Structure 1
Amino acid sequence: MSKAEFKYENQGNGELQDLIKQAFTCLACGKCSGGCPMVYLFPEDYNPHRVLEKLVENPEEALASKEIWFCASCYKCNKKCPQGIELPEVFLKLRRIALKQNGIENLREVIDDLHGRIPFYNLFFRVCYHPEKIPLRKDELNSLFEKNTSEYKLKQIPATREKVAIIGSGPSGLFTACELRRKGYRVTVFESREKAGGMFHLSIPEFRLDSEIVDHDIDLIKGLGIDIKTNVRIGKDILFNALFDDGFQSVFIASGAHCCMQLHIEGENLPQVMTSLEFLEANKKGTIKAMKDKFVVIGGGNTAMEVATSAVKYGAKEVSVLYRRTKDEIPADINELREVENEGVKVQYLVMPLRFIGEEKLMGIECIKMELGHPDLSGRRRPVPIKASNFIIDADMAVVAIGEKPDLGYLPDEIMLTKEGAIAINPLSMETSMKGVFAGGDVIWGSSSVAEAIMAAGRAVDGINKYLTERRKA
């Protein structure tokens, strides 16, 4: 037993002792830091591996450190860790202890750091930091954003450099727009929807992110001299290549992944059967007046878990998730799965829907039991139906959440796509196969976290700036 473990065991702090034990299993391989979006954004301030070292050597120093507040819960570290250490959960628990022991001042400093680096820091914090889990009282949370000592300064920078077009106004598009504007570029953002904000406005439930906060931060971004044109579809209202004819010297594609994959089974067109994004958007707008009693989600990713949690929050009495593989293969992050289980959601494994039952409204879902066979191309064992194992479950509403993919039909043939249908890019510069065209966010990865989208945007900004600088000198 280490000195730290002995000290905190004798003080009765069992939770901290458990965290120290987890940190002690760290192999110091550094994989948690490689590819971490927050390490990319704050290389001088944050290193998850260093936090674990501090926790073992001097827990008091770790609790007093700002570093425990930087993790944005993207769970990339957990997927890379050979020991399976759940770093985001470790940091969350450390924050709870630190808040009781040291108060909120360290968090205030981190909010200030976020403000100096991320233009929509308010949105970023509320979405990525899960303040409801720390937990922060509403007055404490609001006070964090009332005053900051640093500023994301843009207004005084003249827009004298080249014109850059950005397609999409989600996290990746907005971050790229602001960073390029800070470098003096003239930036125009094209958004196909009525409101800018991408996933902030479309899919994050209102109980996690108030729409008024999204509108407020978008207005601040517009005030920085960034032109945001809504209700403009590239490929329909403006052809992609016409952007260059209009004087844009570079284009950044960040149009997201808004095409939901379908099951292609009987009854999928019933009005009570929705895609994940249809449901989340309707929930965000408040157009679903009453949640059905028996609510079924089909899928095992983070979006499926978000839908299930939302259904519980908005009044569904019985929520089930159907997943065709086992818990070991489920793609959702550990924390997302744990949250739905804590909310009373029943997750049924090795189950696949065959058809939705009903004529004018959904009555139930015919399913079949599965078993795992040989690995498929993804490396996971393929789910195989068990003969004569059909059964029916009751359902008043169902949401199909089996994945989203980008709609890239508006792009010219010069831009190469991957076999998965995403945009192929140079991972260092984020440039596509078409000169001067860059991409980031969900169009290159499929579904990604806000932190990951911002990391891709940061790399794209460097790539765009280098491209235009070299072009200027030529």
Structure 2
Amino acid sequence: MLKVQFNSMRYELHFEHLTLKGKYPRYGKKQMVGGFMAKKTLTEANWKIGDPMINENDFWQDPNYKAEDPEKEMLVLELAKLITDRYVKKLTNKINNRDPEYWMLDHILNKEQVKFLLNFKKTRVPYSIEELAQMNNMPVDKTQEMVDRLKWIGIIEQNRAKTADKHRQYELPIFVPGSAEFMMMQDKLTDEFPELATFFNLMTQLPLAGITQMVPPGGAGVGMHVIPVEKAISLENQSVPVEHLSRWIDMYDKYGISECSCRKQQAMRGEGSGEIRGDYCIGMGDMAEYMDDRGIGHYITKEEVYEILERAERHGYVHQITNIDGEGKIVAICNCAPGVCNALRTSQLFNTPNMSASAYRAHVEKDKCVACGKCVEVCPVGAAKLGQKLCKKDGSEVTYPKTELPDKKKWGPEKWNYNYRDDAKINCYKTGTAPCKTACPVHLSVQGYIKMAAEGRYEDALKLIKQDNPFPYICGAVCNRRCEDACTRGTIDQPLAIDEIKKFIASLELKQDKRYVPLCEKHDGGMWSDEYKVAIIGGGPAGLSAAYYLRLNGYPVTVFEKEKRPGGMLMNGIPSYRLEKNIIDAEIDVIRQMGVEFKCGVEVGKDTTIQELRKEGYKAFFIAIGMQGGRMAGIPGETAEGVQTGVDFLRTINQDHSVRLKGATVVVGGGNVAIDVARTAVRAGSSKVTMLCLESPEEMPAAKDEVAEAKEEGIEVLNGWGPREVVTEAGHVKAVIFKKCVSVFDDQHRFNPQFDEGDTIEVPCENLLLSIGQSVQWGKLLEGTKVELNRNGTAIANSLTRQTAEPDIFVGGDVFTGAKFAIDAIAGGREGYVSINRFVHEGNRLDLARDRREFIELDKDDISVETFDNAKRQIPGKKAGVAQETFEDLRLTLTEEQVKTEAARCLGCGATTVDENRCIGCGLCTTKCEFDAIHLTRDVPAASTMVRAEDKLKKVGPYAAKRAGRIVINKILGDK
């Protein structure tokens, strides 16, 4: 059965999006779907997502197709029946020329090759060259030529006999695991027959559709078998040798490495989900020789094997071994990307995770768990999700659903999970998790680094923070602290001083000669070549974050910044008394040490163009130039001398603290930037600073603590006034007339200020600084591109992927969202990296299986907090000095003692919960946990029994019978 979905660009054939191939070999120009032709054309098709299943025979090659050679057709049908693992086809003899087994063999093999292969009689029975020569009545040399060609294709497998001479022998494998992936590994073959990618995909799913529910735990030799991260079970006294990677590595004396056929297949089909093609599959023993002989891999050492495995664990790849040869032999160790691995995808699609799971399941010790979420991010199947640790108001614990398993249920297409890849990226249960993590735009592991700070693990805390935020001190100084606004502790007394703890942790690194520089590498080792160069245009927080994550994953990155030094609005917009410039330089220097190249004083659109950069080899662009321009009010007299935008004023002062203001200053605006402008005007020598805004005190967008600090510095704040006219004298501003604002928003809370034109005031001044909004200064940057703009001047882009109408141009930060905070820009930079990583590698979709980092806040009205540390919120001290007289930041960090006192106030709201029914026991979660809170236990020992493929019915049959009995009992008992 094949599920078909349709939209304007793609069919979905057998649960996967497949790109239309256009011209198809042999049958001319047809509307093809991977090798099948739909009965309906694109214009006639009206299938929609969610439509019921349709029969696979609704697809065929060509309704008028007649074999050019009827004899070959019959031979190919016989060979297809021999090799296929679809028992329905074997037993009923219903295989036909519409089946993928037929059309793939028909394409790649000639008649003589088919006849030769039919003489194998059975699959997986080895023969020597001499035996094959005799069976085919051919000379040995001609037999060797035939075998070498078929081996190159991948339709036959080579290994060594167990006899003393260890001669080479050859066997006919099934398609999966077997010849389908062997063929996928041969680049010249897939170039000639790209439909092999669809064939491989179908052969991993069609044989298992409708029978996976009858497979006992562990897969009974179905194909691939998860084997845990070794250190996750090293202390498990119940473990057995076959569950340890080292046991298999020590068994063999030869090792090879080759490209992952699943990654390649998905990329060819346009279904890659960010797991980039490369060498990940380790061939063991005879397979290493086979790979080398075929030219699809090369030998590696045992030390390199361990390096590859460790790197795979760092990047979240699942170790799997073949499970078809019984206890004593494996073919390979695979490091599988969950979004593309056929074995993992198939078991998740049919909602039967036991089919490939190891003997282990993960369990969380909630008392130790701090909801950092790193186990959740790495879980390949979505078994780990964030929930809450706190009890409900009635004292009960929140319960979480378990995935339904087929051991006692009827199991058909209605039980399958068609959205398995996106479901695996859901981070949080609907009942919610820690509010601090939820509210933070980058979803920092707040509980995690606070716990580490309480334990004095400051370097570990910094590393944990930098997984999600490359600029911890910067954000500690200027963040608007949404995490604190949401903090559950705030419902008791005062929220935790989260930002101050982060600032303290980051401050320790700044005092060190050597700073933490994270490991940078692409997922299969080394660095990407210049073929994958990425240009970041704009050196502010969004651009720098994108550069950080791209370089972290091995990309050559260049940041183009028009100013003399990078930092964007961090450097040129935020006053030094809030964020000292040496701090910005220090955190940017880490990115420079990672290997990111900076080209400052270069304005793209003026000094160079995007088109010229493309010629230089840049494959993608992330534009994050910020909103560097201010906005005028559009009132009479605003062109007078002494009037400027607040943004321009801040840039001037930040670049030269010697610039002075004389006389009184009026600042128009009510946001945080306006506060910065007013407080900077005080430090620039203004005799009096008055700040006027449309909003009431309750409506002001500026942070309340910043408004309070402004007033402490002598700034007068007048609410409910909007500028009407600038009064001038001799071409210079003399005063500003304001009119009363009676309302700022309409009934739908849209910005729509209303004024009482008869109620006015006149405020005298020598300087007028307008801080009523910001604008993007595009210049000629977008000339020659298809990038479109909104009415407010921001770029139009996909809300998830940040891709513009120009496919290789992505945007982030204020040019996409409008004026926001540094932490929002950092989040946008990370999303830019995710998209660019996929975009520069052909065959990857930008949206599929993407971690959308969506979190839900727990219900703070339905919690019970029985005990807590009753210490008061800790307040950082201040340096000696008068704020109005210095641009130095006079705020101190918390002391170490204060940090530990403050950290003890955390209520520990969140925790990870593992759905054991969904867990596959890979152990990756344990590699990411820094709190010893998640462990594997050997819950399903039978899953470690390895069964020869030929014997799997001996296991499936009895289990299927028992299962059928349980289903009958459940029905009698009324369990649906």
TM-score normalised by the chain length of structure 2: 0.37
Counterpart residue identity of residue 426, structure 1: N
Matching residue of 1:375: 746
Counterpart residue identity of residue 615, structure 2: D
Matched, 1:401 2:771: yes
Task: Tell me if structure 2 keeps the 8 A contact 1:294–1:318.
Answer: yes
Tell which has more relative contact order, 1 or 2 (C-alpha 8 A, sep 6+).
Answer: 2
Indicate which of 597, 616, 619 corresponds to 1:227. 597
Matching residue of 1:82: none
Q: What SS does structure 1 have at the residue aligned with 2:835?
A: helix
1:274 & 1:42 partners in 2: Cα distance?
Answer: 51
Task: Tell me if structure 2 keeps the 8 A contact 1:260–1:277.
Answer: yes
Matching residue of 2:527: 158
Task: Tell me if structure 2 keeps the 8 A contact 1:376–1:382.
Answer: no
Q: What SS does structure 1 have at the residue aligned with 2:733?
A: coil
Indicate which of 708, 714, 733 corresponds to 1:362. 733
Matched, 1:213 2:578: no
Q: What SS does structure 1 have at the residue aligned with 2:594?
A: coil
Task: Tell me if structure 1 keeps the 8 A contact 2:540–2:567.
Answer: yes
2:689 & 2:648 partners in 1: Cα distance?
Answer: 18
Matching residue of 2:556: 186
Matching residue of 1:6: none
Counterpart residue identity of residue 808, structure 2: G
Counterpart residue identity of residue 367, structure 1: F
1:339 & 1:236 partners in 2: Cα distance?
Answer: 41
Q: How far apart are residue 163 of structure 1 and its match?
A: 0.9
Distance of aligned partners of 1:451 and 1:358 in 2 relative to their CA distance in 1, 3 Å threshold: same
Matching residue of 2:811: 439
Q: How far apart are residue 451 of structure 1 and its match?
A: 0.9
Q: Which moved more, 1:411-420 or 1:459-468?
A: 411-420
Task: Tell me if structure 2 keeps the 8 A contact 1:189–1:227.
Answer: yes
Matching residue of 1:305: 675
Instruction: Identify unmatched segments of 5+ residues in structure 1.
Output: 1-37, 58-66, 78-90
Task: Tell me if structure 2 keeps the 8 A contact 1:119–1:152.
Answer: no
Task: Tell me if structure 2 keeps the 8 A contact 1:261–1:402.
Answer: yes
Q: Which moved more, 1:260-269 or 1:424-433?
A: 260-269
Deviations 1:296-346 (A, max 9, x none): 110122211221233345554532211134334433344443443444432
Matched, 1:168 2:534: no
Matching residue of 1:282: 652
Q: How far apart are residue 457 of structure 1 and its match?
A: 1.1
Q: How far apart are residue 166 of structure 1 and its match?
A: 1.0
Matching residue of 1:458: 830
Distance of aligned partners of 1:114 and 1:271 in 2 relative to their CA distance in 1, 3 Å threshold: farther
Distance of aligned partners of 1:123 and 1:175 in 2 relative to their CA distance in 1, 3 Å threshold: same
Q: How far apart are residue 70 of structure 1 and its match?
A: 7.5
Matching residue of 2:755: 384
Task: Tell me if structure 2 keeps the 8 A contact 1:73–1:129.
Answer: no
1:378 & 1:456 partners in 2: Cα distance?
Answer: 26
Task: Tell me if structure 2 keeps the 8 A contact 1:116–1:152.
Answer: no
Matched, 1:122 2:473: yes
Task: Tell me if structure 2 keeps the 8 A contact 1:301–1:330.
Answer: yes
Counterpart residue identity of residue 442, structure 1: D
Distance of aligned partners of 1:244 and 1:140 in 2 relative to their CA distance in 1, 3 Å threshold: closer
Counterpart residue identity of residue 121, structure 1: P
Task: Tell me if structure 1 keeps the 8 A contact 2:665–2:681.
Answer: yes
Matching residue of 2:789: 417
Task: Tell me if structure 1 keeps the 8 A contact 2:661–2:686.
Answer: yes
Counterpart residue identity of residue 128, structure 1: C
Q: Which moved more, 1:267-276 or 1:155-164?
A: 155-164
Q: Which moved more, 1:244-253 or 1:345-354?
A: 345-354
2:663 & 2:374 partners in 1: Cα distance?
Answer: 44
2:809 & 2:465 partners in 1: Cα distance?
Answer: 28
Q: How far apart are residue 350 of structure 1 and its match?
A: 2.5
Q: Give 1 or 2 for the bigger CA radius of gyration.
A: 2
Counterpart residue identity of residue 405, structure 1: S
1:70 & 1:150 partners in 2: Cα distance?
Answer: 24
Deviations 1:245-300 (A, max 9, x none): 22111111101111211123344334432211122122222345444452211012
Distance of aligned partners of 1:215 and 1:141 in 2 relative to their CA distance in 1, 3 Å threshold: closer
Q: What SS does structure 1 have at the residue aligned with 2:546?
A: helix
1:346 & 1:55 partners in 2: Cα distance?
Answer: 45
Matched, 1:321 2:687: no
Mapping of 1:246-265 within 5 angstroms? 246-265=616-635
Indicate which of 429, 432, 440 corresponds to 2:801. 429
Q: What SS does structure 1 have at the residue aligned with 2:510?
A: coil
Q: How far apart are residue 373 of structure 1 and its match?
A: 8.1
Task: Tell me if structure 1 keeps the 8 A contact 2:480–2:703.
Answer: no
1:456 & 1:465 partners in 2: Cα distance?
Answer: 14
Counterpart residue identity of residue 322, structure 1: L
Task: Tell me if structure 2 keeps the 8 A contact 1:178–1:221.
Answer: yes
Deviations 1:384-407 (A, max 9, x none): 2422x3332121322100100212
Matching residue of 2:842: 470
Task: Tell me if structure 2 keeps the 8 A contact 1:423–1:444.
Answer: yes
Task: Tell me if structure 2 keeps the 8 A contact 1:72–1:451.
Answer: no
Matching residue of 1:145: 510
Distance of aligned partners of 1:357 and 1:206 in 2 relative to their CA distance in 1, 3 Å threshold: same
1:260 & 1:383 partners in 2: Cα distance?
Answer: 23
Counterpart residue identity of residue 229, structure 1: K
Q: How far apart are residue 456 of structure 1 and its match?
A: 0.9
Counterpart residue identity of residue 201, structure 1: M
**Alignment RMSD, CA only?**
4.2
Matching residue of 1:113: 464
Counterpart residue identity of residue 717, structure 2: V
2:699 & 2:752 partners in 1: Cα distance?
Answer: 8
2:705 & 2:551 partners in 1: Cα distance?
Answer: 36
1:290 & 1:41 partners in 2: Cα distance?
Answer: 49
Q: Percent identity?
A: 26
1:396 & 1:55 partners in 2: Cα distance?
Answer: 59
Task: Tell me if structure 1 keeps the 8 A contact 2:694–2:741.
Answer: yes
Task: Tell me if structure 1 keeps the 8 A contact 2:694–2:744.
Answer: no
Instruction: Identify unmatched segments of 5+ residues in structure 2.
Output: 1-370, 378-384, 396-433, 482-496, 846-976
2:374 & 2:388 partners in 1: Cα distance?
Answer: 16
2:547 & 2:839 partners in 1: Cα distance?
Answer: 16
Task: Tell me if structure 1 keeps the 8 A contact 2:472–2:506.
Answer: no
Matched, 1:203 2:573: yes
Distance of aligned partners of 1:297 and 1:51 in 2 relative to their CA distance in 1, 3 Å threshold: farther
Counterpart residue identity of residue 248, structure 1: Y
Q: What SS does structure 1 have at the residue aligned with 2:841?
A: helix
Deviations 1:53-90 (A, max 9, x none): 89999xxxxxxxxx89979988x99xxxxxxxxxxxxx
Q: What SS does structure 2 have at the residue aligned with 1:426?
A: coil
Task: Tell me if structure 2 keeps the 8 A contact 1:365–1:392.
Answer: yes
Task: Tell me if structure 2 keeps the 8 A contact 1:259–1:406.
Answer: yes
Distance of aligned partners of 1:259 and 1:185 in 2 relative to their CA distance in 1, 3 Å threshold: same
Matched, 1:241 2:611: yes
Q: How far apart are residue 423 of structure 1 and its match?
A: 0.8
2:629 & 2:748 partners in 1: Cα distance?
Answer: 23
Indicate which of 547, 568, 589 corresponds to 1:177. 547
Matching residue of 1:60: none
1:171 & 1:207 partners in 2: Cα distance?
Answer: 19
Task: Tell me if structure 2 keeps the 8 A contact 1:159–1:181.
Answer: no
Q: What SS does structure 2 have at the residue aligned with 1:327?
A: coil
